[in-house]
């Protein structure tokens, strides 16, 4: 097997793992939409539960390794593709053959990385490495940190931009993974497409609703 093929398979596998993470992350975050008091109790308990669980710690390490590997393989594949098609196009007719987001995966990936850096600095880092206020149950009050962040409209806009970039990235990822994994039968390709659109629609809409809802209902 050629090394580019191995890199593409590893991208598909790490991408698949990240897709599962997104489902679990979204389900956990949907607790933020509960009535305020209930949301606070349940979200802070959930964050405390995650931080004390050894299995979750292992998954967290796997998650960070997957994100890093996904980025490194993406860079290697992009550089190899650039080397292979070194010549410039006289007429740029690429728009007729592929979608704009497929040709801009590097740009979308960089936007998502920027979003992730802001996101992890403001929530994950705060929770793990700073002394947060304690809630009535005796747990770190991550809920109030999240709510305060979404009070600012520009912060909500950063999230919406990051999540839209993630949506296009996911769409392309699904179709490219189908090719890498050798799904060529038109019946299965159609199924893959429908699933890709459904998954992407639910994940992006779910993540977008959270900051918008909190911003609009915050007192
Ligand atoms: C409304 C949207 C989102 C909210 C409210 C949210 C909330 C949070 C919070 C509170 C944490 C810290 C939890 C902890 O460490 O226990 C966290 C961690 C994290 N989030 Fe998000 N998140 C959102 C969207 C996203 C998106 C779209 C991505 C991916 C592109 C993402 C990726 C991550 C990652 C990788 C972590 C670190 C995971 C861990 O160590 O457990 N999040 N998020």
Q: What CA–CA distances, in Å, run from 116 to 80, 123, 132, 154, 218?
A: 26, 10, 21, 16, 24
**Which residue's CA lies nearest to atom 12 of ligand 1?**
124
Query: What pTM did the predictor assign?
Result: 0.90
* Cβ atoms of residues 120 and 67 within 8 Å: no
Integer Cα distance of 215 and 219 in angstroms: 9
Q: What residues pair up with 140 in beta bridges, in sequence order?
A: 134
- Select from 54, 123, 143, 214 the residue to mutate for testing ligand 1; criterion: most ligand atoms less than 8 Å from CB: 123
**pLDDT tens figures, 64-87:** 999 999 898 888 888 887 777 655
**Which residue's CA lies nearest to atom 13 of ligand 1?**
124
Integer Cα distance of 212 and 161 in angstroms: 12
- Residue spans per domain, the chain: 3-84+101-217
**pLDDT tens figures, 145-172:** 999 999 999 999 999 999 999 999 999 8
């Amino acid at each position: 097997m050629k090394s580019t093929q191995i890199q593409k398979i590893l991208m598909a596998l790490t991408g698949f793992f990240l897709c599962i993470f997104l489902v679990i992350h979204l389900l956990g975050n949907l607790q933020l939409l509960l009535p305020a008091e209930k949301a606070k109790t349940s979200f802070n308990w959930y964050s405390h539960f995650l931080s004390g669980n050894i299995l979750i710690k292992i998954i967290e390490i796997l998650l960070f390794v997957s994100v890093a590997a996904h980025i490194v393989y993406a860079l290697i594949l992009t550089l190899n593709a650039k080397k292979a098609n070194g010549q410039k196009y006289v007429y740029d007719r690429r728009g007729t053959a592929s979608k704009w987001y497929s040709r801009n995966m590097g740009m979308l990936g960089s936007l998502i990385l920027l979003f992730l850096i802001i996101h992890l600095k403001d929530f994950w880092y705060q929770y793990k490495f700073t002394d947060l206020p304690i809630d009535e149950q005796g747990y770190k009050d991550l809920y109030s940190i999240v709510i305060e962040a979404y009070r600012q409209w520009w912060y909500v806009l950063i999230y919406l931009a990051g999540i839209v970039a993630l949506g296009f990235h996911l769409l392309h990822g699904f179709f490219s993974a189908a090719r890498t994994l050798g799904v060529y039968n038109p019946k299965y390709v159609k199924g893959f497409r429908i699933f890709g659109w459904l998954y992407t629609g639910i994940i992006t809409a779910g993540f977008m609703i959270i900051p918008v809802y909190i911003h609009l209902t915050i007192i």
